[in-house]
């Protein structure tokens, strides 16, 4: 199997957005996607990007991606990596491509002295949970995600 993991580059914004939408469809969250190709272009490929993306190419064809950014743990006193999106096209799943993307980020952690590689997974996404557990991930289900957005975020920003 010919597989390479390469950094996404200017010109990949459409492809990255396509993968984001496919992942959102899989997660039944496509109604929540408002990102545009211009947003992706700006944040991934503008000056001093704060978010990064790796593309998996199988036999010369892009088949998956991992989109990530740096976190910081006060407990560890070290940066880590937050994996925002991981997706492999259905036709090539089970060939080690998801694992290769995770390994690529784990190697970055090791090379840069980062303390953690973390991400969310939906509770119903059993195949992904099994995949993650097979890679040594521990589920921290005592934590709940908190989010303020939309009008509530505006209200919180405005309150005196
Ligand atoms: C989850 C996902 C990224 C895994 O990628 P993949 O390329 O299919 O997985 P791999 O072939 O690299 O699997 C690596 C290992 O995990 C195991 N694994 C993968 N899927 C599994 C499953 N459904 N059940 C049990 N084990 C699984 C494989 O057996 C393999 O084990 P090995 O290393 O001992 O051989 C991919 O299936 C995907 O894109 N799913 C839909 C989107 C999604 O759920 N993304 C994650 C959102 S949090």
Q: Tens of pLDDT along 106-117?
A: 999 999 999 999
With beta carbons less than 8 A apart as the criterion, state whether 37 and 21 touch: no
Q: Average pLDDT over the chain, rounded to whole?
A: 97
> Atom 12, ligand 1: which residue's CA is nearest?
96
| Residue 72 CB contacts under 8 Å (≥ 6 apart), including other chains | 78, 79, 80
Does 160 score more than 90 pLDDT? no
**Cα–Cα dist 121/89, whole Å:** 18
Boundaries of domain holding 62 = 3-158
> Atom 48, ligand 1: which residue's CA is nearest?
121
Q: Tens of pLDDT along 39-89?
A: 999 999 999 999 999 999 999 999 999 999 999 999 999 999 999 999 999
Query: How far is ligand 1, taken at its centre, from the CA of residue 39, in Å?
Result: 29
Task: Tell me if residue 80 falls in helix, strand or coil.
Answer: strand
How many other C-beta atoms are found inside a 10 Å radius of the C-beta of residue 86?
23
Task: Tell me if residue 83 falls in helix, strand or coil.
Answer: strand
Count of residues making up the chain: 160
Ligand 1 neighbours by CB, cut-off 6 Å: 23, 26, 86-88, 93-99, 121, 125, 127-128, 130-131, 134
Domains identified in the chain, total number:
1
Q: Smallest Cα–Cα separation from 81: which of 62, 101, 59?
A: 101
Task: Tell me if residue 85 falls in helix, strand or coil.
Answer: strand
Q: Specify which residues 57 forms β-bridges with.
A: 4, 62
**φ/ψ (deg, to 5) at 37:** -60, -35
The question of whether 87 is a catalytic residue gets the answer no
Q: What is the CATH number of the domain that holds 141?
A: 3.40.630.30
> Atom 26, ligand 1: which residue's CA is nearest?
131
pLDDT band at 159; cut points 50, 70, 90: confident
Q: Smallest Cα–Cα separation from 55: which of 90, 29, 20, 79?
A: 20
């Amino acid at each position: 199997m010919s597989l390479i993991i390469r950094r996404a580059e200017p010109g990949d914004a459409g492809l990255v957005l396509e993968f984001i939408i496919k992942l959102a469809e899989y997660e039944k969250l496509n109604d929540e996607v408002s990102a545009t190709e211009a947003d992706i272009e700006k944040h991934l490929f503008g000056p001093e990007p704060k978010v990064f993306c790796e593309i998996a190419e199988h036999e010369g064809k892009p088949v998956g991606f991992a989109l990530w950014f740096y976190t910081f743990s006060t407990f560890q006193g070290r940066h880590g990596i937050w994996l925002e999106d991981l997706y492999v096209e259905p036709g090539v799943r089970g060939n080690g491509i998801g694992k290769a993307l995770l390994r690529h980020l784990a190697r970055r952690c090791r090379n840069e002295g980062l303390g953690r590689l973390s991400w969310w997974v939906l509770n119903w996404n059993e195949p992904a949970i099994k995949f993650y557990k097979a890679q040594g991930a521990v589920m921290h289900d005592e934590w709940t995600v908190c989010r303020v957005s939309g009008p509530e975020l505006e209200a919180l920003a405005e309150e005196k």
